[in-house]
Amino acid sequence: MEGPVALAQITIAFAGNPNAGKTTFFNALTGLRQKVANYPGVTVERKEGPWKISERSINVIDLPGLYSLDATSLDEQIASEIIRGVNDGAARPDAVVAIVDATNLERNLFLVTQLLELDIPVVVALTMMDVFESQQHSIDLLKLGRMLGTPVVAVHAKTGRGVEELATAVETALSTKREPLLLPFPEGDVTSSAIFARYAFISDVVQETVVHGDMPRHRLSERIDSVLTNRFFGLVILVAILLLVFQTIFTWSSLPMDLLEQGFGSAAEVVRTQLPPGILADLIADGIIAGVGGVVVFLPQILLLFFFISILEDSGYMARAAFLLDKLMSRVGLHGKAFLPLFSSFACAIPGIMATRTIEDRRDRFATIMIAPFMSCSARLPVYTLMIATFFAGQSALGFISVGALLMLAMYALGILVAIAAAFILKRTLLKAPPPPFLMELPPYRLPNLRNVVQNMITRAWLFLKRAGTVILAISIILWALTYFPRAGVTEVTIDPAATVEVSAAPEGEQLRQSFAGRLGHLIEPIIEPLGFDWKIGVALIASFAAREVLVSTLSIIYNVGKEDEESQSLIEAVRSAKRDDGSPTWTPLTALTLMVFFVLAMQCMSTLAVVRRETNSWRWPVFMMAYMTALAYFAALLTYQGGRLLGFS
């Protein structure tokens, strides 16, 4: 690139990280004269337009955003190929203008250092300088240019600041030979050590050239990070925060939950007193109110869970938790980008699975999809809470930690650990591939935005109530019908004599026992008996394969239908007092724990399977997911129950 070049034939490319202000600046320079087309054979957009330099027009290409030249997504790959001159459909530009976001200097300079290693003229254009300067920071542009070995210009698309200087810098860069940047590691090495070496150089450059106006705040943030992202203390703090969250959820939600439960109980009583005894009163009280009410009483817990999640997310702490777990995830071969989809799955696996689209490699993406349903979603919360409230309420460990909160944390942790183990196996067998390097940016700490928090809570509450009012309502009605028909009196003659004796020994269960649901429960009883579950739990388990929280509705319906007297009792009391055919209690703390373990691991969501089918475009994956998760849940529950019994628990 020696000697002056005729500007009319010149093409320069704008390259930079996504959201660095590249396209805004490109639009400001080229205005409405730009052309938009696709790169040959792909759907990646190609934007180019003329830019006048010294009364002559040069061609400018706005490349797709990229974080590094070792790109993996299609957009990034095209940009990288064009810069390196290896793209079949587009010629190599004569120079590159690296658009750098001044507020994210370290991350943006990563790409710049890679560009400077190539034999191509590079000019650095710093955007977002107004924001950078408003934060009282300042930068020595000349020194930065000297250290990088290329001109650096501060630009502003709106005011036109620096456009003239940039034009001059581009002209100069085109006519002078620049020595490629030499960093102390092998060229093209994308391993972690190369990344760290590159960042070490960038860190030196930034330290030498940038003066932070809010250094005390910056230092404080770094000090907090050194504790929160510490391998040991970070994990201890994470566990303590989650324990506190769960304990608070239990404490704060108990009063509104009691009120809701009383409200639904009173509603059932009103129906019973106002309507004549019969099928309609039974349907409304035992089917609709018990079924839907059984789930809706958990609304305060759902609201509180999302209140805390939003606060942790908004304050910037969640990114630190992600950073801590990322180390563990990358060790088992999961992509760093898997954290966000997995984290979303704590609310619901469906958006989590859809969020895996950001993972470029198909095998990394499928591995994340396959483990996402292990994250304890909000539909599991009513099941965990019912079991904890019934058998472990009021108990504490070490005098101050609630056993309920500990158990809840244990269920979330079990899901995460099994997911990591499953990913470890999948990434070494069916989905074998090396994990690509991933950079994580820690956002600054800030006070949570109350509006965001409330908005998030309202959204989740609406989704929960919508689901309760549609799917849960419909399933509750169907289940009630399955427990109500055929009527005991009608079919009594068809029951064999031995069973009739048994029936009369337990009159409360007579109707349930010979109902459609009861027969189904009895059919699967031999399979679930080793887990400590009776046929009534079996009915609830089958129903919960449509949606997890249906277990609570089903138990509510079953224990209400099963009662001879018409007085409704709370679900917790009903579960506590439920008896097996031999008079022994159906539920024990061990049965409750076993059921919770089963629910952590089992694939009990039709909608999730549908999304997996859509996202993997194959029946193989949802069938595999259903099979391996259910088998795992069964054996883990078996181990819990039988192991617990061997250890002397009942």
Partner 1 sequence: MTVFEPELLVAMVVVLAAALFMAIKFLRIIRSFRRSSQCSSDCGCNAEKK
| Interacting residues with partner 1 (CB under 8 A) | 43, 278-280, 283, 357, 360, 362, 365, 470-471, 473-475, 477-478, 480-481, 546, 606-607, 610, 613-618
Distances (CA, A) of 424 to 324, 334, 418: 18, 8, 10
Q: What is the nearest approach in angstroms of partner 1 to the Cβ of residue 37?
A: 13
> Of the two residues 503 and 612, which places its CB atom closer to partner 1 in the complex?
612
CB of 611 to partner 1, least distance (A): 9
Q: Which residue, 452 or 618, has its beta carbon nearer to partner 1?
A: 618
**Which of 95, 551 has the CB closer to partner 1?**
551
- How many residues comprise the chain? 650
- Compare residues 167 and 288 and give the one whose CB is closer to partner 1: 288
- Nearest one of 409, 414, 377, 415 to 243, comparing CA atoms: 409
Smallest distance, Å, CB 249 to partner 1? 31
C-alpha to C-alpha distances, 458 to 303, 344, 461, 466, 492, nearest whole angstrom: 8, 17, 5, 12, 50
What whole-number distance in Å separates Cα of residue 218 and Cα of residue 225? 11
Tokens of 381: 């919360």
Name the residue nearer to partner 1 (CB basis): 66 or 405.
66
- Residue closer to partner 1 (CB basis): 425 or 477: 477
Q: SS3 letters for 23-62? A: HHHHHHHHHHHCEEEECCCCCCEEEEEEEEECCEEEEEEE
Q: CA 52 to CA 63: how far, in whole Å?
A: 19
Closest CB 437 distance from partner 1, rounded Å = 20
Distance CA 594, CA 639 (A): 9
In the bound state with partner 1, the residue whose beta carbon lies nearer, of 98 and 542, is: 542
Q: Which residue has the tokens 């703090």?
A: 237
Under a CB-based contact definition with an 8 Å cutoff, are residues 223 and 445 in contact? no
Find the shortest distance in angstroms from Cβ 478 to partner 1: 5
For residues 38 and 226, which CB has a smaller minimum distance to partner 1 in the complex? Answer: 38
Secondary structure of residue 532 in the 3-state scheme: coil
CB 279 → partner 1: shortest distance, Å? 5
Closest approach of partner 1 to the CB of residue 66, in Å: 17
Q: Which residue, 426, 418, 420, is CA-closest to 366? A: 426
- The span from the CA of 577 to the CA of 587, in Å, is 8
- Closest CB 447 distance from partner 1, rounded Å: 35
Tell the smallest beta-carbon distance from residue 599 to partner 1 (Å).
22
Helices 620-646 and 362-371 cross at an angle (nearest 10°) of 40
CA of 483: how far to CAs of 33, 83, 296, 504, 587, in Å? Answer: 71, 68, 21, 18, 20
Which residue, 413 or 481, is less far from partner 1 as judged by CB? 481
For every residue of 246-304, DSSP letters joined together read: HHHHHHHHHHHHHHHHHHHHHHHHHHHHHSPSSHHHHIIIIIIIHHHHHHHTTHHHHHH
How near is the Cβ of 632 to partner 1 at its closest, in Å? 24
Which of 430, 606 has the CB closer to partner 1? 606
Q: Minimal distance in Å, beta carbon 138 to partner 1?
A: 40
Q: Give me the least distance between CB of 38 and partner 1, in Å please.
A: 9
CB closer to partner 1 out of 310 and 483: 483
* CB within 8 Å of 134: residues ≥ 6 apart: none
- From residue 602, give the alpha-carbon distance in Å to each of 52, 415, 627, 628, 637: 63, 10, 9, 9, 10
Which residue type occupies 28?
A
Residue 198 near residue 110 (C-beta atoms within 8 A): yes
